[in-house]
Amino acid sequence: MSQSESEPARRSKAFEDQVLEHVDVLYAVALRLTRNAADAEDLTQNTLVKALRFHDKYKEGTYIKAWLLTILRNTFINEYRRKTRRPMTVELTGAEAAQSDSPDPEVTLQLDRNRREHLFELLDDEVRAALDAIPEDFREAVIMADLEDRSYKEIAEHMGCPLGTVMSRLYRGRKLLREQLDNYARRQRLITT
């Protein structure tokens, strides 16, 4: 590897490390804005993806925490505006789904992370088929994050790629799954619009 090739890689890694120092602050602010843990996680992830994707826009010497919080705030505002332009309507017909018969949310499921077959047994055939249909890199990231509950750092180490790549693969993989499972979610009454 030549000197010119290694220098950008070192700068990119150093920038990524700087960004990751502020994940907890970003999540705390996102949680305050969204008032929902899942939405706060999504907002934090989207912020990190944008920061890493556009790291060339970051000017050396700028207070990185303020830069990241600006990205987070703008992402939140844009998402809020998008949602308000598309109001959600709910029509009650008397045929609403009965109370969920899912397992007790107070009881946690403890599975060996390295035993994927146990995790796959919990999925419906249609969900497994949708998961199998997405490209392997996206599928692997989604499985490790959403089924095995691994951290971004663990996934990056396992896949041998930068953290930003993991976040991008997760975002794209989840998006592909949502598209493929739209009808399934409607049939299961997980979404109604």
Q: Where are the domains of the chain?
A: 3-85, 116-187
Q: pLDDT tier at 83 (50, 70, 90 boundaries)?
A: confident
pLDDT exceeds 90 at position 135: yes
- Stated pTM of the model: 0.42
What CA–CA distance (Å, rounded) separates 14 from 190?
A: 42
pLDDT exceeds 60 at position 35: yes
Number of Cβ within a 10 Å radius of residue 125: 7
With respect to CATH, is domain 116-187 assigned 1.10.10.10? yes
Residues 144-184 have pLDDT tens digits of 888 777 888 889 999 999 988 999 999 999 999 888 888 88
What residues contact residue 41 under an 8 Å CB cut-off, 6+ apart? 27, 30
Q: Work out the burial of residue 86: count CB atoms within 10 Å of its CB; fewer than 13 is exposed, 13-18 middle, 19 or more buried.
A: exposed
Cα angle value 58/20/28 (rounded, 5°): 105
What CA–CA distance (Å, rounded) separates 139 from 172?
A: 10
Amino acid identity of residue 122, one-letter, is: L
C-alpha count within 13 angstroms, C-beta hemisphere, residue 97: 12
**Pick from 5-14, 70-79, 100-109, 175-184: least confident:** 100-109
Q: In terms of DSSP H, where are the helices of 21-151?
A: 23-34, 37-53, 64-85, 116-121, 125-133, 136-142
164 by DSSP, 3-state: which? Answer: helix
With respect to CATH, is domain 3-85 assigned 1.10.1740.10? yes
Given this chain, do its domains 3-85 and 116-187 carry the same CATH topology?
A: no
